[in-house]
């Protein structure tokens, strides 16, 4: 499979052959699911915490005598049945991360990229250098490439101009070819790679 290369004005700059083999016949779908679930789970803080009956403030005194009052028997002010008492089986701080093998991550990335390439959602630039950190100049590049909706800009080494010009655009994110993951590949409508960044990714997927 070949990808057309353009410049920041939308002019053709030749083609690039995709070096890694595309995945066929539905293989890798489960790996993509597992990797995305693991990625989103790892984003969770895991800091939710409730106090058990032994942790809430209160005395050890019995609220009232066992018999003769006409009320239900009670043995503690910290009872989960009472307002201000402990929580039964409440959340505690925990780590939500899931272990995914390197082979599964590799398969998931190849599957995700294969689907995006077939769908025509990958745009390949010869290079992406901005003359100034102005958002207007960056938006001009997106307009020249006919980018509608959300976009992920993948550069081999984003400079300060690109980072500053893109940070005010809510529907655009910037990453590198060495840092991009399966979740990044799937979440945006368009993937805009520089040639160097795409070659970085290909080196990872060979």
Answer whether residue 8 shows pLDDT above 90. no
Answer whether residue 9 shows pLDDT above 90. no
* Segment 84-140, tens digit of pLDDT: 999 999 999 999 999 999 999 999 999 999 999 999 999 999 988 888 999 999 999
What's the pLDDT band for 197 if we cut at 50, 70, 90? very high
Helix axis angle for 195-205 and 102-118, nearest 10°, is 130
- Calculate the alpha carbon distances from 151 to 21, 142, 154, 188, 194 in Å: 24, 9, 10, 5, 13
Going by C-alpha positions, the residue among 40, 41, 34, 206 that lies closest to residue 113 is 206
Going by C-alpha positions, the residue among 109, 139, 62 that lies closest to residue 204 is 109
11-25, 168-182, 187-201: which range is least confident on average? 11-25
Answer whether residue 53 shows pLDDT above 90. yes
* Its pTM surpasses 0.75: yes
- Going by the DSSP 8-state scheme, the letter that residue 22 receives in this structure is P
Q: What is the C-alpha separation between 21 and 196, in angstroms, rounded?
A: 19
What average pLDDT does the segment 12-21 reach? 88
Contact 163, 144 (CB under 8 A): no
CATH class of domain segment(s) 2-43+99-205: alpha beta
28-42, 64-78, 147-161: which range is least confident on average? 147-161
* Segment 134-188, tens digit of pLDDT: 999 999 999 999 888 999 999 988 889 999 999 989 999 999 999 999 999 999 9
What average pLDDT does the segment 47-73 reach? 96
Structural domain spans, the chain: 2-43+99-205, 45-95
Helix (H, G, I), strand (E, B) or coil at 123: strand
């Amino acid at each position: 499979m070949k990808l057309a290369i353009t410049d920041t004005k939308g002019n053709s700059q030749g083609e690039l052959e995709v070096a890694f083999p595309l995945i066929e016949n539905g293989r890798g779908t489960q790996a993509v699911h597992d990797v995305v679930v693991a990625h989103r789970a790892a984003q969770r803080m895991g800091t939710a915490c409730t106090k058990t009956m032994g942790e809430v403030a209160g005395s050890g005194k019995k609220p009232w005598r066992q018999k003769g009052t006409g009320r239900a028997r009670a043995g503690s002010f910290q009872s989960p049945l009472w307002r201000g008492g402990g929580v039964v089986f409440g959340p505690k701080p925990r780590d939500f991360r899931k272990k995914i093998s390197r082979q599964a991550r590799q398969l998931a990335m190849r599957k995700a990229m294969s689907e995006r390439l077939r769908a025509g959602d990958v745009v390949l630039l010869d290079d992406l250098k901005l003359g100034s950190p102005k958002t207007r100049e960056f938006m001009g590049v997106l307009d020249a490439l006919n980018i509608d909706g959300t976009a992920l800009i993948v550069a081999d080494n984003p400079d300060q101009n690109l980072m500053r010009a893109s940070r005010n655009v809510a529907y655009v994110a910037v990453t590198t070819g060495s840092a991009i993951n399966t979740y990044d590949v799937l979440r945006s409508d368009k993937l805009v790679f520089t040639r160097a960044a795409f070659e970085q990714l290909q080196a990872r997927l060979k």
